Structure 1
Amino acid sequence: MKLSEDFALALRDYRLLLNRGYPIPSTLKLVGDRYRLSHTERMILFRGVLDDEKNEKIHMKLVSTLPKNASLAIDGFNVLFTLINYRRGHPLFISTDGLLRDAGGAHGRIERTEDWDWARTLFCETLLHLPVGPLWVYLDAPVSHSGEYRHEIEQNLKHHEAFVQVMLEDCADIPLQTFTGTAIASSDSTIALRCKTSIFDLARYILETSYHAQFLDVGAYTYET
């Protein structure tokens, strides 16, 4: 994704204002209107730029690899929707906290079965080849057809050598925030800030190892040059 000069300036100004304590909604509108940003560009600001205090807290938790037999708790739909959005061509980027996120699209619903099948297969095959375990995959129950998706993931992972449990939760945030194993896998900023463990960016790992994907680094544009 190539950035316009105005969008690069918007990223810098938005981060500067967040660091000065301005509220997110009004800052997003102010900067978005000033630079006449598109909906996608505003979503990149909103999801891709955090204030420096939050960035530091999350950066300190990030790990790029996992030790053998690591216990891992996964924010299932968070990772799977990121994969689906990659397949559908929505912009993905490295946020200022170091986590891979997307500019929206498939969140809370899966419109095409072929997208789900592709993402689920890629997700499960990666986990089957990672030398980690036990694994907990948490799925948000309010997502349509979540019970069916849970069953399909369980079937795909039933031959994993380690203990695997796929669970439906009214809100997957809670067990991820309180998990005390080796690491969690989620790009949700609230979970990342509140979790007690390391953070493994599973979606980024999958796409970089399987497709050699390269992503826009939003943080590189948020400082004055």
Structure 2
Amino acid sequence: MDRFSVHFCDAIRDYLYFRERRYPAKSVLKLICDRYQLDAAERTMLFRGITLPETARTRLAKLCGTPAAGACFHVDYFNQCLIIVSYLSGNRVFISCDGVLRDASGFHGKKIPEHLFIRSVELIVQTLESFRPGGIIFYADSQISGAGRLASVATELFGHTSVSCHMLMTEKADEALASVAGGIICTADSAIIDRTGLPVFDLAKYVLEHTFNPVFSDLRNICAS
């Protein structure tokens, strides 16, 4: 179980206090993080993991359990893979107050360990294949450094699967996923979850829970305390 700084719970309490009164998120985040001198991971957890109670309830209501056979999956490729990479790297992953697993690693702009990325793709493809889906579409953001090379990891596996798999490279993966009309969305991106009217499957969380024996820090418990 992760250990947090002595003032992390106070930071969560104060952050929610100001957010519930509709103060701007980024301004409040800087104020609270500086006040309690939170480290980089805790700052990210506060930003990604804490949201207004009504928003958290709405997102939680969209989460679905193990999908039925024949479902079509729309996967936020880098979002889901990098959460697993974070776990495999020993970095902090956590359950947000909306029930979704997220990471605090901040790989954006940093070199992604490719051997772990390859492993994450293998785990995701194997897991999805076990559901006997009607089809799988991966949405890869082309603006991420090395996107084409990292996307090719999945396409190389497609020839060894028994289901229909496709990779869609796009400049705005979030918009493409939010506009999907049918099937199941696999993402931890809060903006996509808020916009979609489709069921959301926490694929990264499922993969980790059914492959390893993780003990995730749950911000819902920390907030409750």
Give TM-score scaled by structure 2 length. 0.92
Aligned to 1:101: 102
Q: For the aligned residues, what is the CA RMSD?
A: 1.7
Taking the aligned partners of 1:145 and 1:32, their CA distance within structure 2 comes to 32
Structure 2 residue runs without a partner (length 5+) = none
Alignment of 1:94-133 (within 5 A): 94-107=95-108, 109-133=110-134
Taking the aligned partners of 2:95 and 2:13, their CA distance within structure 1 comes to 15
Runs of 4+ in structure 1 over 6 Å off:
none
- String of CA shifts for 1:38-76, please: whole Å, max 9, x gaps: 122111101110112221221110012111111110000
| Number of matched pairs | 224
Taking the aligned partners of 1:176 and 1:158, their CA distance within structure 2 comes to 24
1:139 deviation in Å? Answer: 0.5
Aligned partners of 1:72 and 1:134 also within 8 Å? yes
- String of CA shifts for 1:119-170, please: whole Å, max 9, x gaps: 2222222222222221111101112332233332122122333322111011
How much identity, in percent, do the aligned residues show? 32
* 2:167 is equivalent to residue 166 of structure 1: yes
Aligned partners of 1:95 and 1:219 also within 8 Å? yes
1:110 deviation in Å? Answer: 4.1
Give TM-score scaled by structure 1 length. 0.92
Alignment of 1:14-163 (within 5 A): 14-107=15-108, 109-163=110-164
Structure 1 residue runs without a partner (length 5+) = none
Q: 1:2 to 1:28 in 2, by over 3 A?
A: same
Alignment of 1:146-225 (within 5 A): 146-223=147-224, 225=225
The letter of the residue matching 1:152 is: V
Taking the aligned partners of 2:88 and 2:132, their CA distance within structure 1 comes to 26
- String of CA shifts for 1:97-116, please: whole Å, max 9, x gaps: 11101112323554332222
